[in-house]
Amino acid sequence: MTENIADSFISLELPVQWGDMDAAQHVNNTVYLRWVESTRIALFQKVNGGVLAFKKIVPILAWQDCKYIFPVTYPDRVVITLDIIELLEDRVVFEAKIYSKTHNRIAAISKSSVMAYDMENLKKHPFPEDWRKAFVDFYGEGILK
């Protein structure tokens, strides 16, 4: 892996399971998206002091894409890094990179947008200030758009 994982806001290492593979004998495309989802959950746990306990305002996935670069197969371990590439008034845009440890290379890149959602009023909510502060504290003011 050519990038320094410590430079990312969060990283997660996961084992590739035999059942993650499909008929083409490589990890199914949907599994990559689940790995990214698990990393987003770890990010919000980090922002919330290690717990995942939301009350009225929750993060929801608005969109996600994935560019598949290299097929991952069992056995392997993957490292997923997640960084903020844009912090807007009402959402954050993430970029995740999935690395194969066995092949020491990038396997996929996924971008996603997460919004804050008010569960009581069932509508979009401005991005919470404590979430914004955690991101700005890590990256600096340059991520604000």
Give the residue extent of every domain in the chain.
Answer: 5-131
Share of the chain above pLDDT 90, in %: 75
Output the CA–CA distances (angstroms, integers) from residue 84 to 29, 38, 55, 103, 119, in the order listed: 23, 16, 23, 26, 24
Written as six digits, the tokens of 29 are: 């495309």
- Cβ proximity of 8 and 82 under 8 Å: yes
Backbone phi and psi for residue 54, each to the nearest 5 degrees, phi listed first: -100, 150
Tell me the per-residue pLDDT of 69-80, one tens digit each, with 9 for 90 and over: 999 999 999 999
CATH of domain 5-131: 3.10.129.10
Express each pLDDT in 12-66 by its tens digit. 999 999 999 999 999 999 999 999 999 999 999 988 877 777 889 999 999 999 9
Task: Kindly report the pTM of this predicted structure.
Answer: 0.91
Taking only the tens place, the pLDDT of each residue in 64-122 is 999 999 999 999 999 999 999 999 988 999 999 999 999 999 999 999 999 999 999 99
- pLDDT for 6 equals 78
Residue 62: φ, ψ to 5°:
-95, -40
CA 132, 80, 46, 62 torsion: positive or negative? positive
